[in-house]
Amino acid sequence: MNPRRAEIRRETGETRVLVCLVLDGSGKSQVATGLGFFDHMLAQLAKHGRFDLELRCEGDLEVDDHHTIEDCALALGRAFDEALGDRRGIRRFGAAYAPLDEALARVVVDLSGRPFAHVDLGLARERLGEVASENLDHFFRSLAATGRMALHVDLLRGSNDHHRAEAAFKALALALREAVRIEHDEVPSTKGML
């Protein structure tokens, strides 16, 4: 089997992003976005998804965190899409629950080729570290758009916003790990393509 990997570069007037993704990895990550909390979330995604991930971003953090988070998500979604190729043989669907202490998240994904996102994190704090809470919702939506996936993220309970967000990233990792798994040699659709 050919290694399922992708390297994406995204350069705009606001950011410069490099993403190297290996789907069949061991969970190693090297992440540097200038946003400590966001780096921590991306490291969780790689570790629990068993993806190898290098992600580096130089963004206009003097403005705020929005462009950095959005462009990292767009580049990472493209990397998933490219690494999946024609999506032949993948399980396609993935669902996972992940707890972190009192928090419990559920993520369901369909690597359908049709982007859609429903995200309900229910975060109460305005910021987590240097990251505006609203931009975490935006991360999931942007990832789904360029990853060409239907993505449902729901926080079922929890009182600590750090725990809530981290549970969501861990559940995403587990759901994606399940969905990208190779199970056969057919395109998993009655249409014959995704």
Domain boundaries, the chain: 5-180
Which of 17, 12, 11 is CA-nearest to residue 57?
17
For 12, 21, 26, 132, 170, the CA distances from 37, given in Å and listed in that order, are: 23, 20, 22, 10, 14
First-to-last CA distance in the chain?
A: 20
- What does the pLDDT read at residue 57? 98
Whether 94 and 176 have beta carbons less than 8 Å apart is answered as yes
- What does the pLDDT read at residue 169? 99
- What does the pLDDT read at residue 188? 85
pLDDT in tens, the chain (194 residues): 678 999 999 999 999 999 999 999 999 999 999 999 999 999 999 999 999 999 999 999 999 999 999 999 999 999 999 999 999 999 999 999 999 999 999 999 999 999 999 999 999 999 999 999 999 999 999 999 999 999 999 999 999 999 999 999 999 999 999 999 999 999 888 888 88
Q: What is the rounded distance in angstroms from the CA atom of residue 174 to the CA atom of residue 39?
A: 18
What residues form DSSP beta bridges with 100? 103
Please state whether the predicted TM-score (pTM) of the whole model is above 0.95: yes
Q: What is the rounded distance in angstroms from the CA atom of residue 91 to the CA atom of residue 83?
A: 15
Burial classification of residue 59, based on how many CB atoms lie within 10 Å of its CB (0-12 exposed, 13-18 middle, 19 or more buried): buried
| CATH level 2 (architecture), domain 5-180 | 2-Layer Sandwich (3.30)
